[in-house]
Structure 1
Amino acid sequence: MSRIDIEVGSKIRQIRQSRRMTQDELATAIHKSRATLSKYESGDISIDLNTLYDLSDAFGIHPEQLLYLRTIEISTAQPELQPAFFKGLTRFYGYCYDGRNGKLNRSVFDVFSQTDVGQYRIALYMNYSEFDHYQQAENIYWGTMQHFDSMTLITLKHQNNPMERASLQVLASFLDADTRWGLWNGVSSRPLMPVALKLLLSKRPLPENATLLHELKLSKEDIRRMKYYNMFSVV
């Protein structure tokens, strides 16, 4: 039993439960026995590629979302334009303040395969309750992250609602820092309206306290800059 098998099995179980599927229902969908599926979920046996794709089809997700991602920072031998904040990251975190309910909104960004120089496939799990089960987030997006000279651009599509498209722009900085501000543009469903908000990105989970909440709320400087330019901006 390997760490990879255990982690992949745990993801399968969490996603199945979040979709309120029984083991019998999922086993039937992937043409396996319930006993075999149970061993997949416990990590007792490894999953072949054909079964991995069958599982992703049954869940309606991308196969990469079932893979085990190491959360360490890795170095890359390929020279490319990559801002210091994102260099080697396979996962980073996002925080914003939701004024509709006065609560903190947590997000996890998982970085998958590189598709071109400076471009990666990416998944966003937005508004989860517990980090150990972040795949059960309220909203899941899939898209790409691309680095340019002066900016990183993340474009996303909601996994279950194609109307919900979002983007995140992050100004490039070659000074290494654990956090960066980004501007999120998307759609609010409660009420339905286009929105833009500031999103704090971090290489590591941040302490969730009053200091963080204060930082996430609109400041006097945010409002001053918005009035001056007649635009909402994040720097």
Structure 2
Amino acid sequence: MNVDEKVGRNIRKYRMAYNMTLKELAVRLHKSVSTVSKYEKGDISTFLELSKIFKVSPLAIIGDEIAEEEEECTYAETIEKLYMYSYDGIGKVIVKSVIEQQAVEGKNNKYKVHLFNDVSEVKEPGECGGLYTGEYEKEGFIGTYMLHNQALKSEHIMISCVNNLVNPGQQLALVSGLSNYTMLPVTFKAVISEKEIVNKEKLMNLLTFNKEDLKLMKQMNYLTIQNIR
């Protein structure tokens, strides 16, 4: 895939994540639908204006190939891609999400973050159930995401993470926010991984609350996760 194709694919990804039609984006850009369609096919002439609309760094649209040509940049050149998994107890399904984050220059412990929640295909994260943006900050083996739903401005989520002692490439996490079903505060488990996890049995073991979790919650009167898996 050449640079132009990658730019076009990124434009389409963010447009879909914002649940925005070609016509709606065309209105925002004061362009015709046919012109915007051409952008998604690789015309990068207006990527700066697009980055403002999507609230992302221009580098997130351009991609790594051109990043090294930028002399002044707010974010690091590399976009780190992570995979997040949670379990929907009502639908009885494992929910897959994709996290894209860039380190803030001069602050290697702080990142600009986009969370594509509930994706059907990790290779096409724009086709998601919702887009959350915000920041991630880490200190040692712990980290915190503070994210905002771009479709529902009143919804915010916090993801508290700790490195998995058994699998260093994974983080065990608790996600706190509003339930889409009840619109009441909820907390649930999640796993954030550097690589895709295809073993469903392993995921279910990590994502569901067991008897020991419930026993600990009853003793402590708060919900926590045990870092031994």
TM-score strictly above 0.5: yes
Percentage identity across paired residues of the two chains: 25
How far residue 183 of structure 1 moved from its aligned partner, in angstroms, is: 1.2
Judge conservation of contact 2:26–2:36 (CA < 8 Å) in 1. yes
Judge conservation of contact 2:85–2:94 (CA < 8 Å) in 1. yes
Query: Does 2:50 correspond to 1:55?
Result: yes
Q: Distance in 2 between matches of 1:196 and 1:151?
A: 18
Pick the aligned partner of 1:118 from 109, 113, 122: 109
Query: Does 2:85 correspond to 1:95?
Result: yes
Q: Distance in 1 between matches of 2:219 and 2:16?
A: 49
Judge conservation of contact 1:53–1:63 (CA < 8 Å) in 2. no
How far residue 152 of structure 1 moved from its aligned partner, in angstroms, is: 0.9
How far residue 181 of structure 1 moved from its aligned partner, in angstroms, is: 0.6
How far residue 153 of structure 1 moved from its aligned partner, in angstroms, is: 1.2
How far residue 89 of structure 1 moved from its aligned partner, in angstroms, is: 7.3
How far residue 112 of structure 1 moved from its aligned partner, in angstroms, is: 2.0
How far residue 125 of structure 1 moved from its aligned partner, in angstroms, is: 0.9
Q: Distance in 1 between matches of 2:199 and 2:62?
A: 26
Judge conservation of contact 1:61–1:159 (CA < 8 Å) in 2. no
Q: Distance in 1 between matches of 2:206 and 2:31?
A: 50
1:207-222 superposed matches below 5 A: 207=198, 209-222=200-213
Deviation by residue 1:184-208 (Cα, 9 ceiling, x = unmatched): 1111120111011111111111105
Judge conservation of contact 1:122–1:143 (CA < 8 Å) in 2. yes
**SS of residue paired to 1:207:** coil
1:124-143 superposed matches below 5 A: 124-143=115-134
Deviation by residue 1:123-177 (Cα, 9 ceiling, x = unmatched): 1111111122212211211111111245211111111212111111112578871
C-alpha spacing 1:204/1:173, structure 2 compared with 1 (3 Å):
closer
**Structure 2 residues not aligned, in runs of 5+:** 65-77
**Structure 1 residues not aligned, in runs of 5+:** 71-87
**SS of residue paired to 1:231:** coil
Q: Distance in 1 between matches of 2:211 and 2:62?
A: 42
Judge conservation of contact 1:64–1:112 (CA < 8 Å) in 2. no
Q: Distance in 1 between matches of 2:190 and 2:164?
A: 16
Runs of 4+ in 1 over 6 A off after TM superposition: 173-176
Judge conservation of contact 2:164–2:172 (CA < 8 Å) in 1. no
Deviation by residue 1:26-76 (Cα, 9 ceiling, x = unmatched): 445424455543332222x4x13xx2243345xx52133852556xxxxxx
Pick the aligned partner of 1:223 from 214, 217, 221: 214
Q: TM-score, normalised by structure 2?
A: 0.78
Q: Distance in 1 between matches of 2:116 and 2:16?
A: 16
Output the aligned Cα RMSD.
Answer: 2.8
Q: Distance in 2 between matches of 1:204 and 1:130?
A: 14
C-alpha spacing 1:11/1:117, structure 2 compared with 1 (3 Å):
closer
C-alpha spacing 1:12/1:150, structure 2 compared with 1 (3 Å):
closer
1:137-216 superposed matches below 5 A: 137-149=128-140, 151-172=142-163, 177-207=168-198, 209-216=200-207
Q: TM-score, normalised by structure 1?
A: 0.76
C-alpha spacing 1:89/1:177, structure 2 compared with 1 (3 Å):
farther
Query: Does 2:61 correspond to 1:67?
Result: yes
**SS of residue paired to 1:94:** strand
